[in-house]
Structure 1
């Protein structure tokens, strides 16, 4: 007679005790089984090490000084340096990069073609609905990049102008929001979309557009190379932090890459490495939030 038959009989005290014992055993097994299932759903650092390193799909390196390449094609910038240090903390042997236009970066992450995105990406409410964000590494606020002769000194001056944005960027969503506000007042803002920020910068210089809404970092770098030709007219909207992006399932269980990268970023901040890298690329230390209260996953 099988155990199941004995439990179903249940007429004797022994049968009742056996039934209770079976239930307790099943409950005991359920907890570790659920935990194991949660852990198996995330990409772990052990899996990354076993694969020989990260597989990263990121933006074409034209986001100086966060992420760019020099004349010889050597990758560099703040994000490059930060990931190099994170890899030392986590003992990751290598990083394999595939570069695409910005519009394809986050879709590649969603499709599982990229382990995560170690690029300074603006943390917005819209993106938080789909993605998880690491501890911030710096500032990534959207500013109004324009020419001195364009007559633009703030968001209100964009009405009636043509504004350049990079497809899929926080600059694009900011421009769309400003346009909706203008339309509510019976006015409009013309928006022109680009695949790469280099192209919109060129059009701005050639007076094909009046302004570009983009993160402040590449604006500062471009203005340094072209002194007197352009101006930063200030914030287009509220300040934004710069963080690396993950799939939400890669947080929350032991060894998951989101939690482990956050641990490494905390180590770098505490020992002063983050400040040193910020000083190298931006000449100043950036204000960061309290990591103890930061929510990587909404």
Structure 2
């Protein structure tokens, strides 16, 4: 093989390698937002300073498969949908329930988690069996959440509905006696009852308003379809089940 041909092949190889490296290094960065207080979906690891949780594992796996990098910020839940709606964030993941109202202003991925709403009261409190028992009581919930909307619709002025900026605030209020009950997303309520609230709080009553969580994107986002393909692949190859088991135990058939 002559020197001229070797040089041409070497140049072609270098160009191919360079283009490949360029494609890898130019992966698009997507601005994501989450709520740092919705355990075990998203929470701050005090040791590493990194956000961890079920949603964080889901998001990182989706990003890896869909081909984008993540620039993650945290904010109160009530500011998350507006941030995506206005384009101040490209996507949000924070146990966000897919609703008709929200779908008018943002695009959602396919559902990735089935949920609902539950009541939490102090341990030993047998006065509350269902939602109607909360009439005349003080109820803690989160600002901007579907649980707040549900309480307004079904109890209205029959109870004192007290919205809090974070889930930790409303649980603290319950433990301190500032509210008589908390009404919020079932997995978060259950997680608190089994961890920090063990022996001090109990979940009561049925599951209200079956819900599904989705990743919220700005309207018309090009990342919705890649995210949906990633989620489908994760469920098919067992990755989703592994992440679910890590945070919640064995996955029920409904997920």
Quote the Cα distance in structure 2 between the aligned partners of 1:241 and 1:265.
14
Pairing 1:238–2:204 present: no
1:107 Cα deviation from its structure 2 partner: 0.7
Quote the Cα distance in structure 2 between the aligned partners of 1:287 and 1:124.
23
Quote the Cα distance in structure 1 between the aligned partners of 2:93 and 2:173.
28
Matches for 1:77-88 after TM superposition, within 5 Å: 77-88=53-64
Find 2:140's aligned residue among 147, 155, 164.
164
Task: Give the alignment's TM-score, normalised by structure 1.
Answer: 0.71
Q: Structure 2 vs 1, CA of residues 171 and 224 (structure 1 numbering), >3 Å: closer, same or farther?
A: same
Paired position in structure 2 for 1:278: 244
1:157 Cα deviation from its structure 2 partner: 0.5
1:50 Cα deviation from its structure 2 partner: 4.5
**CA deviation vs aligned residue, 1:4-33 (integer Å, no higher than 9, x gap):** xxxxxxxxxxxxxxxxxxxxxxxxxxxxxx
Paired position in structure 2 for 1:200: 170
Dislocated runs of 4+, deviation >6 Å: none
Task: Give the alignment's TM-score, normalised by structure 2.
Answer: 0.83
- Structure ID, larger Rg: 1
Paired position in structure 2 for 1:90: 66
CA contact (8 A) 2:29 2:71 kept: yes
Is the partner of 1:205 in helix, strand or coil? Answer: helix
Q: Structure 2 vs 1, CA of residues 243 and 86 (structure 1 numbering), >3 Å: closer, same or farther?
A: same
Pairing 1:267–2:228 present: no
**CA deviation vs aligned residue, 1:242-275 (integer Å, no higher than 9, x gap):** 211123322xxxxx11111111111111111111
Is the partner of 1:141 in helix, strand or coil? Answer: strand
CA contact (8 A) 2:32 2:92 kept: yes
Is the partner of 1:193 in helix, strand or coil? Answer: strand
Quote the Cα distance in structure 2 between the aligned partners of 1:235 and 1:287.
19
Q: How many residues align?
A: 228
Paired position in structure 1 for 2:18: none
Long gaps (5+) in structure 1: 1-48, 251-255, 290-298
1:170 Cα deviation from its structure 2 partner: 1.0
Pairing 1:189–2:165 present: no
CA contact (8 A) 2:130 2:206 kept: yes
Pairing 1:224–2:199 present: no
CA contact (8 A) 1:141 1:215 kept: yes
Quote the Cα distance in structure 1 between the aligned partners of 2:192 and 2:151.
21
Quote the Cα distance in structure 1 between the aligned partners of 2:115 and 2:90.
22
Over the aligned positions, Cα root-mean-square deviation in angstroms equals 1.9
